[in-house]
Amino acid sequence: MDVSKNSRSRTLTQEGLPLVRDLMQAAPATYWRDYLFCTILGWGAFFMAGGEISAWLRALYLVVAALALYRSAIFIHEIVHLRRDSVPGFRAVWNLFSGVPLLIPSFFYEGVHLSHHRVNFYGTEGDGEYFPFGRKSRGFLAIFFLGNLLFPMVLIFRHLVLTPLSLVSGSVKTWTWRHFSSLEVNFSYSRPIPASGVKTTPEEFLAFLLCASSALALYLRLISPHWILVWYTMAALLLSMNALRTLAAHRYRFEGNSKVSSLDQYLDSIDIPGNFLTALWAPVGLRFHATHHLFPGLPYHSLGLAHRRLNEGLVENLATYQRATCPSLWRAIRDLWKSPRHPLMIGDEHAILIGK
């Protein structure tokens, strides 16, 4: 590893830590108020969208539902980083009202996301949340984005078909865990088997019950296929917004199996402070994605203030800190699209080509 890079990384962190140390504590009231509001709003709009209303009003309700439930869903990121005792009961409530009905229970992300922050995994095949879009063919960008339109169907198949098969076949259980049990970006990612083995979680079983009962209700004509279409459309909108946000979260320029320094991880990530509209497509603090990589322990409600303090208080490392800031979503996507597409291996002398 480049010792000078590692030293610079520590210097940036050490200079910035005193400026944000008092912001590390999660505020439970903020989590509950924010989460419950967007969840109630989202499911309320969803049920309104399924009613006997005009097409334009249905479209409006679907957009509101997708935006609100997108924010609700993104709290899965906070669940991974929160200590279990920080906001008691939050994980269970999130799974009940977001994870299960959206078919993305929290275990899809727990154990996967933290590897994305580790120096030994970031930017490698062991990082499920990273793919070198900036170095590969632009076709991968289209495949990734358009694939989200089909992803709700994949989730239904996973919970309706693979979950019961996993209960009777150990090999299916293992295969399902490796390839159908994580929210990932990396096309070649295979989730490692935990030391304790693969177990069926309560959330997984509830998701199966939801899919199975919905299928039975459809067969018995107790509910109309119209409701499945409304759910699918809302889920596809939600996932498409998340796909755009994901593409704007990093520069995706690393490709290899070597360690990436903490500084290079930060500079490969992107802050897009924007305005209140930015929070619609990058909710729950994710518009400050680079700052989050610098201080993963900051709760989402502290990231905006931390970003301001670091811009105002850093001296020696201010220029370095500001190199990770991008003015807009479209600029980040445009830069990714125009990124040089020659092979890059971690450890190259000029691995980070930003700040132009």
Q: Which residues are paired to 271 by β-bridges?
A: 288, 325
pLDDT in tens, 139-180: 999 999 888 889 999 999 999 999 999 999 999 999 999 999
CA–CA distance, 212 with 7 (Å, rounded to integer): 54
The reported pLDDT for the residue numbered 356 is: 30
Place 9 in a pLDDT band, splitting at 50, 70 and 90.
very low
Q: What is the pLDDT of residue 200?
A: 87
Residue 98 has what pLDDT? 97
Q: Name the band, by pLDDT with cuts 50, 70 and 90, for residue 10.
A: low
Taking phi first (over 0 means left), then psi (-120 to 50 degrees means alpha), and beta for anything else, what does residue 43 get?
A: alpha
Q: Give the rounded percent of residues in the chain with a pLDDT score beyond 70.
A: 92
For the chain, which residues make up each domain, given as ranges? Answer: 3-338
Residue 3 has pLDDT above 80, yes or no: no
Angle at which helices 28-49 and 55-81 pack, to 10 degrees?
150
Positive or negative, the CA dihedral 249, 253, 257, 260 is: negative
- What pTM was estimated for this model as a whole? 0.90
CA distance 353 to 342: 13
Q: Is there a contact between 99 and 148 (Cβ–Cβ < 8 Å)? A: no
Q: pLDDT of 294-346, one tens digit each?
A: 999 999 999 999 999 999 999 999 999 999 999 999 999 999 998 876 544 44
Confidence at residue 125, expressed as pLDDT on a 0 to 100 scale: 86
267, 354 contact by CB (below 8 A): yes
Name the one residue in this structure whose structure tokens are 């704007």. 248
Residue 351, number of CB atoms within 10 A of its CB:
21
Q: Is the distance from CB of 78 to CB of 112 less than 8 angstroms?
A: no
Query: Rounded distance, CA 234 to CA 58, Å?
Result: 11
Residue 230: CB partners within 8 Å, gap ≥ 6?
Answer: 46, 49, 50, 58, 62
Question: 145: which 2 tokens?
Answer: 């984005």
3-class state of residue 186 by DSSP: coil
Give tens-digit pLDDT for 181-222. Answer: 999 898 889 999 998 889 889 999 999 999 999 999 999 999
Share the mean pLDDT of the chain: 90
User: What pLDDT does 43 receive?
Assistant: 98
